[in-house]
Amino acid sequence: MRNVDVIIVGASLAAAAAAKRLVDAGFETLILERLELPRHKICSGILSPRGYRFLLENFGPLPRAALHDPTWCRGVTFHFPSMVSMPMDFFGGTTPHLHRKYSDYWAIQRSGAEVHDQTSVVALSDKGTHVAVSARRQGGETVEYGARYVIGADGPSSVVRKAIYPQYDKQIPWFFVGQKFHDIIHCPLDHEYFHFWFHPRLGHYTWSHARDGRQIVGVGFKKGDSFHDRHRIVEAYLREKHDVQLQPAAPDHEGCAENFGPSLINRYVFGRGNMLLTGQSTGFLNMIGEGMSCALHSGAIAGEAVVESLCHNQPVQSVYRQMIASEVRRTSDQWNPLMIAFAKPHEADFPAALLALPREDRIKVLRDIWRFVVLYKEFNWGRQIMASSLARLFTGRYPPQRWL
């Protein structure tokens, strides 16, 4: 049985950030990854400037291998059913288009932590003074580990979260997000931008951008619908309305289940006892902000909380929750209509782009956004968002009562 200071489950960007903090402070840190590294990861790969800054400051300049082509992204373009398009540049310059398979691997290596890949965690039990972790290696061999703390950085369907809150997955709405890759015949969509459609008929989350000579067509919808049907609708819409002519999708399409609901109504799971959750497993999947920078920052904060706890005997859970409050505030601000209207919570200037439109277009856009938002009505999020927006206005923070 191997005993270490901290075990991080999942070799993700959140894991790399947490590991960096822990290894720097001299703690023995082990990352357990289910797949073989470098591993594949479904993601748009479009990083925000803030996330890029974090990568640079903590892991150094990105190697070319960690990037897709085009290697950069200039900003986001919003498209509306009324055929108004709004391109918006990121504040402060272009950002990298990460090849998640290699960028994550690079960050993990640069963190300096030890990695055991092809090792799936099968059981976790908190013994009070430490956490016992059993895992299965490729080939079926069972390995036992002990760690003073465990950090779950293993994505939306987190093993660590299941161990702490077995009921949680059943209590939240799940979405399916999938992308297909098409060879391009003709594509007028600007390859320097990430394109997003506010269109209720297309789905809850519809996007497209260029990657490695192909065009990605992505759809997100409530779990239960058919990926291929949904994708066909979007593909046809792009062809009709935007003159995007694509070859049939290549066979390497991909998709996964996502939990982006809880973050926008500010309902997070941060862990219990000696186990912390971070990144997407916490609920930091911020689809109109950007998920990777949330993962990086929340991962780093989880690492810091553990360092505080190991060195200064502070209660890890409350320290983590206090330190993460700024990150919650930032991501929730991005959903807060009052903040969007007045405080520029995003890394591109939506209000300015809106004001730059002719008056009639502006009205169309607002009407289209409203129709799109109505799509989410069934989840009853509107009232919850308004309630927390008001709390933010008067108390300056989001109420932590909804955190687990």
Site for other proteins in 318-337 (CB under 8 A): 319, 322-324, 326-327
- Residue 395 interacts with other proteins (CB under 8 A): yes or no: no
Which 8-state DSSP code applies to residue 46? B
- Identity at 65, one-letter amino acid code: A
Q: How far apart are CA 20 and CA 157, in angstroms?
A: 24
State yes or no: residue 338 binds other proteins (CB under 8 A).
Answer: no
Stretch that binds other proteins, among 51-59, 135-143, 149-157, 166-174 (CB under 8 A): 51-59
Instruction: Determine which residue in the list 12, 29, 44, 95 makes contact with other proteins, applying CB under 8 A.
Output: 95
Stretch that binds other proteins, among 6-14, 67-75, 218-226, 331-339 (CB under 8 A): 67-75
Provide the sign of the torsion angle of the four alpha carbons 49, 51, 57, 61, taken in this order: negative
Structure tokens at 56: 């640079």
| Among 6, 46, 52, 215, contact with other proteins (rule: CB under 8 A) | 52
- Strand-strand pairing, 142-152 and 131-137: antiparallel
What is the closest distance, in whole angstroms, from the C-beta atom of residue 168 to other proteins in the complex? 24
Asked if residue 258 lies in contact with residue 175, where contact means CB atoms within 8 angstroms, the answer is yes
Work out whether 168 is an interface residue with other proteins (CB under 8 A).
Answer: no
Query: Pairing state of beta strands 29-32 and 2-9?
Result: parallel
Beta carbons within 8 Å of 327's beta carbon, 6+ residues apart = 284, 294, 297, 298, 301
**Binding of other proteins at residue 35 (CB under 8 A)?**
no
Contact between 214 and other proteins by CB under 8 A: the answer reads no
Residue 380 binds other proteins, judged by CB under 8 A: no
Report the residue number, 21 or 204, with the smaller CB distance to other proteins. Answer: 21
- One-letter identity of residue 225: D
Interacting stretch for other proteins, rule CB under 8 A, among 62-70, 182-190, 220-228, 269-277? 62-70
Whether the Cβ atoms of residue 77 and residue 183 lie closer than 8 Å to each other: no
Distance, CA of 240 to CA of 235 (rounded, Å):
9
Number of residues that bind other proteins (CB under 8 A): 52
Chain positions contacting other proteins, by CB under 8 A: 20-21, 23-26, 38, 49, 52-54, 56-67, 71-72, 92-96, 102, 105-106, 109-110, 112, 297, 300-301, 304, 307-308, 311-314, 319, 322-324, 326-327
